[in-house]
Amino acid sequence: MAAVVLAATAISERLHVPAPLLLIVVGAAASYVPMLPTIHLESEVVLLGLLPPLLYAAAIQTSLVDFNANRGAILRLSVLLVVVTTMAVAAVVEWLVPGLGWAAAIAIGAVVAPPDAVAATAVAKRIGLPRRVVTILEGESLLNDATALVALRTAIAFLAGSLTVMEVGLDFVRAAGGGAIVGFALFALVAWLRKRITDPLLDTGISFLTPFAAFVAAEEIDASGVISVVVAGLLLGHKAPIIQTAQSRITERITWRTVAFILENTVFLLIGLQLDWILEDVRESTLPVGRIVLLCLATLATVIVTRLVYMQVTWIFRRTDPLPSSWTFLIGWAGMRGVVTLAAAFVIPEETPHREVLLLVAFTVVAGTLLLQGLTLPLLARVLDVPAPDPAEDALARAALLQQAADAGLARLDELEYDDHHGVSDQIRARLDQRSFAAWEQLATAEDSETPSQLYARIRGAMIEAERAKVLLVRSKGKIPSDVVSGVLAMLDIEESMLDAAAEAPERTRIGSLAFTGGRQCDDLDAFPAVDTVADPACATCLADGTPWVSLRQCLECGHVGCCDSSIGKHATAHFHETLHPVMESAQPDESWRWCFVHNLTG
């Protein structure tokens, strides 16, 4: 299965098709291959084996700040919409299958109600939807499983005749509140341990235990394991820069990305593999084939239409910080279902009337939403002209943030007391400048010229190749301890990976017009708004000295044009020191961002 997942994912990149969709088709076709065993996906395998690590992997990478900023929309989708969808589907199913009963109808409604985190965000990130849309979809998918599973548990209890209406509300409160308390308690415990552990392997080992411990502990007290895992993951991800060492964070991040990649895609293959035996069981149903087909299609249509209508209705009442109508429609269309829907269907008791048909309904909704909505979502995003995150704007924000961080570090350097007889402080300042300059150079719009940081990366990369070849030659002679050789190779790998990351960025930034919208304002930026810079700008001092420039900046007080700090002369900064004119603007084509020398802010 892992081999098929890796191969299908690689093929999907070449075909420009989302991997989840291709894997479902591959799994469905494979389910009919005679030599392959029939795989019955048990609910415990998904709800305890797959769901906790997938939720945790998503939660630790989700920004708690962004989640909190969109908590209203997320909670409405993950709680209210799940309830509305559950009841809408229940009404349709109960109408089409007389004698099924409202409890069983509500059960299947709860099963198909929650969209899948993996399915939605896998497609959304691939086609480049706005970050706020992705955040809302991720946040919704992290919590809606809890609402659906509690609703399913309630419906099953009604089927058994062991639950009163009064107990339903208490069950929801216990599930949500208990899950949050357990998740916070586990976060506190893991945070306490991590502050005392510096070994990255031990730290990552603890992270493997965390989602399962959170899920099982919450379920043991009849609380929501889903909410427990999400709360623990969100808090641990948010506090990671404080409670973990840098090496532990890097190790955990890479490890969980690998685990999530394998599990996420395996899930979709598993969904497809269920088709054969589900259809085999349906052949024994007492319901007419026409009624079964109508039921499956009607449920699929109800799930899709209910979400679209709900998004449009609730959008009207969203007065503060509303989403554009095109974004609202896109969120409504991105309601793909996944493995939790199929796993939850298996929880329905075997003695439930027409259970085999209800399983087919769940499969139809999962496959139908993934194929119909997943395949058309990229086209819809283009038709609605929904903007993807601008790489150039990200590069500018990154450069501005690194500049502020460097300034804070230099301020701390000036405060420290030390005897510097070896010029260490000058080396530190030079390295900080190199890092900051490389970030600013990623904004250069001249594609036919090589920036200093690109030249450095190319030359240093060639040197590292030669260095690695020499180390490998020495290793082959067996005269140096293998641990020493491995340590040196690891150092070269780390430096090369930093060069690779820096080299990739410029190609991604040359897209669109660059107008920075994420900066903070100061009095000087307010006093000097952006203007149309001069046509065919040039640095007169560079021309006089016969030196090249990297990028050009224009003073907004006197109009002087000078070269940036990555250039040899650094004439824009020199102009500030000479005149104290506080604000400059990029004079590069298609760039309209400003920089305040006094407050070190980008506008």
**Three-state DSSP class for residue 456:** helix
Query: What's the rounded Cα separation, in Å, for the pair 340 and 1?
Result: 19
Average pLDDT over residues 392-411: 82
Per-residue confidence (pLDDT) for residue 58, from 0 to 100: 85
Cα dihedral 90→274→279→122 (10° resolution): 50
Question: Which residues neighbour 241 within 8 Å (Cβ) at sequence distance 6 or greater?
Answer: 249
Q: Mean of the pLDDT values across residues 73-86?
A: 88
For the chain, give the mean pLDDT: 84
For 503-532, give one letter per residue: b (16+ CB within 10 A) or e.
bebbeebbeeebebeebeebebbeebebee
Q: Which residue has the higher pLDDT, 172 or 2?
A: 2
Residue 187 scores a pLDDT above 90: yes
Model pLDDT, residue 512: 47
- pLDDT, residue 30, reads 92
At residue 321 the predicted structure's pLDDT band, cuts being 50, 70 and 90, is: low
Q: Is the pLDDT of residue 551 over 80?
A: yes
Query: Which token pair is 466?
Result: 């030669």
The predicted structure's pLDDT at residue 308: 92
Which range (123-132, 573-582, 588-597) has the least confidence?
123-132
pLDDT band at 160 (very low <50, low <70, confident <90, very high): low
78: closest CA among 152, 154, 137?
Answer: 137
Output the CA–CA distances (angstroms, integers) from residue 401 to 67, 328, 394, 395, 493, in the order listed. Answer: 21, 31, 10, 10, 26
Residue 231 has pLDDT above 50, yes or no: yes
Strands (E), 470-557: 552-555
Residue 166: its pLDDT value, please? 64
Backbone angles phi, psi at 594, to 5 degrees: -125, 160
* For the ranges 170-179, 307-316, 548-557, the one whose mean pLDDT is highest: 548-557
In this prediction, residue 511 has a pLDDT band, given cuts at 50, 70 and 90, of very low
**Residue in 5, 121, 15, 12 with CA at minimum distance from that of residue 58:** 121
Each residue of 80-137: pLDDT tens digit? 899 999 999 999 998 898 888 888 888 899 889 988 766 666 666 666 778 888 888 8
pLDDT per residue over 414-447, tens digit each? 888 888 777 888 888 888 877 777 777 777 655 5
Instruction: Give the per-residue pLDDT at 116.
Output: 77
pLDDT band at 171 (very low <50, low <70, confident <90, very high): confident
In 3D, which of 82, 146, 136, 145 has the Cα closest to residue 116?
145
User: Which has more confidence, 517 or 479?
Assistant: 479
- If you average pLDDT over residues 369-391, what whole number do you get? 81
- Does 76 score more than 50 pLDDT? yes
517 pLDDT exceeds 60? no
Given a cut of 50, whether residue 396 has pLDDT beyond it is yes
pLDDT band at 510 (very low <50, low <70, confident <90, very high): very low
pTM value is 0.80
What is the reported pLDDT for 388? 73
Contact 337, 119 (CB under 8 A): yes
Range of lowest pLDDT (166-175, 178-187, 548-557, 560-569) = 166-175
pLDDT of residue 119: 63
pLDDT in tens, 201-226: 999 999 999 999 999 999 998 888 88
Which range among 22-36, 283-297, 511-525 shows the weakest confidence by mean pLDDT?
511-525
- Give yes or no for residue 301 having a pLDDT over 60: yes
CA distance 80 to 86: 10
pLDDT one-digit tens code per residue, 345-375: 888 887 888 888 888 998 899 888 888 888 8
